[in-house]
Amino acid sequence: MFPSVPPVTWALILANTVIFIVQLAAGTALLLNFALWPLGASPALGPDVAVGAFQPWQLVTYSFLHGNFTHLFLNMLALFMFGSDIERLFGPRRYVAYYFAAVLAAAVTQLVVSAVTGSYYPTVGASGGVFGLLLAYGIYFPRRTIVLLFPPIPMPAWLFVIVYAVIELYLGVTGTQAGVAHFAHLGGMIGGWIMLRYWRVRRLR
């Protein structure tokens, strides 16, 4: 199935899908232990409300959990669309390093934003890694055409990346779309950019 999908991208899609199924069966147990929870003591919200606490492994594990099927589907679709070409370009080892650098940067960004705003809700989803891949796609395949889902407007990849980054920044600053970690998405892009710069500097030495 999907023979054109390179191995790491396929493994990530499969892992996210299987873990989502386990998540449905496990209820809140996975969210409490493996979602990304803010730093600091968890607030007391009453005996009927379960709240998790930050643990170091959550910097990675949150990226394999998703809020619902639509969340999973959109992230896996983007992983398939952008990750496949980036994995072929980078090779498996560098691709893994790049993807999880974006995941980590997104997590750190979200922790900082949560500390500044005082919010205490868990973060889940592969979006941080996906936004890192989106940045790389726009840099290495700038003239490829990408079509927005809503509205369906075609545009070159480089413009798509800029438009999406601006939208995420606007939504994050204004808080228009509550419950979505917009700054984490931008953090994934920043993590990807840092990795690309690091590789470029190391190659020039």
- Cα 90 to Cα 192: distance, rounded to the nearest angstrom: 13
What pLDDT was estimated at residue 2?
47
What pLDDT was estimated at residue 1?
43
Q: With 70 as the cut, is the pLDDT of residue 11 above it?
A: yes
What pLDDT was estimated at residue 176?
59
Q: With 60 as the cut, is the pLDDT of residue 47 above it?
A: no
- Cα 84 to Cα 112: distance, rounded to the nearest angstrom: 31
We report the CATH number of the domain holding residue 129 as 1.20.1540.10
pTM of the model: 0.90
Asked, for residue 196, whether it belongs to a domain, the answer is: yes
Asked, for residue 22, whether it belongs to a domain, the answer is: yes
Task: Report the number of distinct structural domains present in the chain.
Answer: 1
Residues 6 or more apart in contact with residue 162 via CB below 8 angstroms? 138
Cα 30 to the center of its chain, rounded Å: 18
* Least confident stretch, 25-29, 105-109, 132-136: 25-29
Asked, for residue 20, whether it belongs to a domain, the answer is: yes
What pLDDT was estimated at residue 119?
81
Return the exposure string of 117-135: e unless at least 16 CB atoms fall within 10 Å of the residue's CB, then b.
Answer: eeebebbbbbbbbbbbbbb
Max mean pLDDT range (59-63, 155-159, 170-174): 59-63
Asked, for residue 69, whether it belongs to a domain, the answer is: yes
Asked, for residue 1, whether it belongs to a domain, the answer is: no
Residue 193, domain extent:
7-204
Asked, for residue 185, whether it belongs to a domain, the answer is: yes
Asked, for residue 95, whether it belongs to a domain, the answer is: yes
